[in-house]
Amino acid sequence: MSSPNPIPVALLGVATAVPANVLTQDEAKGLARRLFGHRTSAFERLAPVFDNAGIAKRHIVRPVEWYEAEHGWKNRNAVYLEAAENLYVEAARKVLDLAGLAATDVDGLVTVSTTGIATPSLEARVAGRMGFRNDVERVPIFGLGCAGGVTGLAAAARLAAAAPGRTILYVTVELCSTSIRLDKLSKANIVATALFGDGAAAVLLRSGGEGAIMFEGAGEILWPDTLGIMGWDVEDPGLGVIFDRSIPPFVEDNMERAVAQILDRIGLAKGDMDRFTCHPGGAKVVAALEQSLHLSEGTLDHERGVLRDYGNMSAPTVLFVLERLLAAGMPERTMLLALGPGFTVSGLTLRRA
């Protein structure tokens, strides 16, 4: 199938940032055993998830001792605000430097984050440090979870396409580790300690000009009656993770049809894709994606590499994968995919100009 006319938006750069604290998977397993092992018999049954998660290490916003103490909403959110602002600035400055632009060149800001509450939103909080213009447009988005990496990028592309010459900075920051709680002995909370890491990613877009990578189109599929598959419970003393064990089989059963539906809306077909660039939510999810999309085992190599080195950072993770793909040499056309609360899948296609 021939390509439609692309959205006249070019990708100028992708950059990432992570906190300084590194936690190996062995250390994460030891931490979880100290937190939960003596209080629930479920821990030893779930312990193999640490060995089978495909994660070697991840970055977290606080030293490991912080996670061994009790924290309420106020303290958790204070940690979120401090770390999220710093990671926003680091990732944003990196991508601006990469593109040879200044903060004053930016016309619009799209920010995605779901792991804390920021009002005013993150881009407003860092505007002075960054040096953004006082007339910059701001679009903060909350509640997208892991799908936010792609959905937010699509929103930024649409904002850029509103007028020629617009430059849009998209930043997503997620601090999943701040949701680890001592009081919640759920299986999902224990599994989260095996998977979650923290990080940020920034993308710079410009409309109406030439670029090496161009946007084509985007779409989402929301499945009805699936609210309990993934998300957050808003509780005292913090967010409570919702992670259903049905996620990998659900992906395997439904992803191919959803991708076909999104591509059909864009005017493309699965055969037009040279590569799928996916959010690696976990080792089983990556395997389920390969199965559903009829990809050879091991095809999603950059996804496994990011999962190994950073864990699941929620929304930014798929952009860490895109960064690696661009460094390795992006094929003619790729489709970014991410799954998140809703339950939903978000897709976006890019092509080399």
CATH class of this structure's domain 9-207: alpha beta
Tell me how far apart the alpha carbons of residues 263 and 39 are, in angstroms, rounded to a whole number. Answer: 48
Examine the pLDDT at 2 and tell me if it is beyond 70: no
Tell me how far apart the alpha carbons of residues 167 and 11 are, in angstroms, rounded to a whole number. Answer: 10
Kindly report the number of other CB atoms within 10 A of residue 242's CB atom. Answer: 17
Helix or strand holding residue 46 (H, E): helix 42-46
**Separation of CA 285 from chain center:** 14
What superfamily does domain 213-352 belong to in CATH? Thiolase/Chalcone synthase (3.40.47.10)
In terms of DSSP H, where are the helices of 100-147? 122-125, 127-130
Question: Could you report the per-residue pLDDT of 281-328, keeping only the tens digit for each?
Answer: 999 999 999 999 999 999 999 999 999 999 999 999 999 999 999 999
Alpha carbon distances (Å) from 258 to 139, 171, 225, 244, 343: 27, 26, 16, 20, 12
Question: Which of 11, 101, 19, 8 is closest to 326 using CA atoms?
Answer: 11
Q: What pLDDT is stored for residue 353 in this prediction?
A: 84
Please state, rounded to an integer, the average pLDDT across all residues of the chain: 94
Give the active site residues: 146
Examine the pLDDT at 345 and tell me if it is beyond 50: yes
239 with 231: CB under 8 angstroms?
no
Comparing 10-19, 247-256, 257-266, 268-277, the range with the smallest average pLDDT is 247-256
Tell me how far apart the alpha carbons of residues 164 and 166 are, in angstroms, rounded to a whole number. Answer: 6
Torsion sign (Cα): 38, 70, 315, 247: positive
Q: Which residues of 221-237 are buried (b: 16+ CB within 10 A; e: fewer)?
A: beeeebeebbbbeeeeb
What is residue 281's three-state secondary structure? Answer: coil
pTM for the model = 0.95
Q: What pLDDT is stored for residue 244 in this prediction?
A: 80
In terms of DSSP H, where are the helices of 147-280? 148-160, 187-195, 247-266
Question: Could you report the per-residue pLDDT of 182-211, keeping only the tens digit for each?
Answer: 887 888 888 899 999 999 999 999 998 677
Q: What is the mean pLDDT of residues 88-92?
A: 98
Q: What is the DSSP letter of 33?
A: I
Domain ranges (residues) in the chain: 9-207, 213-352
Tell me how far apart the alpha carbons of residues 214 and 148 are, in angstroms, rounded to a whole number. Answer: 20
Amino acid type, 256: E
Beta bridge partners of 205: 11, 168
Question: Which of 324, 316, 280 is closest to 152 using CA atoms?
Answer: 316
Q: What pLDDT is stored for residue 149 in this prediction?
A: 98
Examine the pLDDT at 6 and tell me if it is beyond 60: no
**Where does residue 82 fall: left (phi above 0), alpha (psi -120 to 50 degrees), or beta otherwise?**
alpha
Q: What is the DSSP letter of 161?
A: T
Tokens of 184: 């919640």
Q: What pLDDT is stored for residue 7 in this prediction?
A: 57
Q: What pLDDT is stored for residue 245 in this prediction?
A: 79
Q: What pLDDT is stored for residue 309 in this prediction?
A: 98
The two domains 9-207 and 213-352 share their CATH topology (first three levels equal): yes
Where residue 5 falls among pLDDT bands split at 50, 70, 90?
Answer: very low
Tell me how far apart the alpha carbons of residues 5 and 216 are, in angstroms, rounded to a whole number. Answer: 7
Where residue 4 falls among pLDDT bands split at 50, 70, 90?
Answer: very low
Beta bridge partners of 140: 111
Examine the pLDDT at 1 and tell me if it is beyond 80: no
Tell me how far apart the alpha carbons of residues 189 and 168 are, in angstroms, rounded to a whole number. Answer: 36
Percentage with pLDDT > 70 across the chain: 98
Q: What is the mean pLDDT of residues 135-162?
A: 96
Tell me how far apart the alpha carbons of residues 194 and 25 are, in angstroms, rounded to a whole number. Answer: 7
132 with 104: CB under 8 angstroms?
yes
Q: How buried is 134 (Cβ within 10 angstroms: 0-12 exposed, 13-18 middle, 19+ buried)? A: exposed
